[in-house]
Amino acid sequence: VAKSNCGQSTTGAVWSFTTICPSPGSFSYTSPSNGATNQARDVDLDWGDSSGATSYDVYFGTTNPPPLLTNTASSLYDLGTLNYGATYYWQIVAKNSCSNISGLIWSFTTIPCPTPGTPSSPSPSSGATGVLTNPTLSWGVTSNTDSYDVYFGTASDPPYVGNTTSTSYPLSSLNTNSTYYWKIVAKSNCGQSTTGAVWSFT
């Protein structure tokens, strides 16, 4: 509005302008690398900071393209504990109030379900005689094992009698002068198992 000291004024038109809106800068993934295998189940997603970004959308899952998992201000994300032997896909989108920039979709595969070790060191020892009629079966700890199936009976292919997380299994009221057979199957919670030898005692 142009004004004179004697009271006259003239109003100009209304003008407008728009300020710049910078897009987030480029960024690169750090780990896990694309196509990586045998990754730990507690792997974290890590990517470089994007200049101008205020947050990141994290897309993650077992399908390609992966679904949106969360939004975070950090360039590192803890996934928690993943499944064994699974392939996961991930993508990061850097964002600010004006626009966003998407990274590529990468993938990685976690370590396979580990196979339990073979049960060994039986007690009573295999072939033992003169064993009491109320023995406790015991065996050595096996690696990658969460529980044990116990097979026991008078047949050389003994039937299943129970499951335990211990390395021992109590018995009672066995017949005298009888031969018994037993075996242990070491099992993991992810579905793997290893069957031990058939042992016997009298």
For the stretch 110-163, pLDDT in tens is: 999 999 999 999 999 999 999 999 999 999 999 999 999 999 999 999 999 999
Nearest to 100 by CA among 47, 53, 67: 53
pTM exceeding 0.75: no
Tell me, what DSSP letter sits at residue 166? S
Distance of CA 3 to the CA centre of its chain: 74
Q: What are the C-alpha distances in Å from 178 to residues 150, 165, 173, 175? A: 19, 28, 12, 6
Least confident piece of the model among 1-15, 19-33, 52-66, 146-160:
19-33
Q: What are phi and psi of 101, to 5 degrees?
A: -135, 130
Q: Please tell me the distance from the alpha carbon of residue 95 to that of residue 97, in angstroms, as a whole number.
A: 7
Q: Tell me what the mean pLDDT of segment 64-70 comes to.
A: 98
**Neighbouring residues of 117: CB distance < 8 A, sequence distance ≥ 6:** 142, 143, 144, 145, 186, 194
What is the per-residue pLDDT across 69-92, written as a single tens digit (0 to 9) for each?
A: 999 999 999 999 999 999 999 999
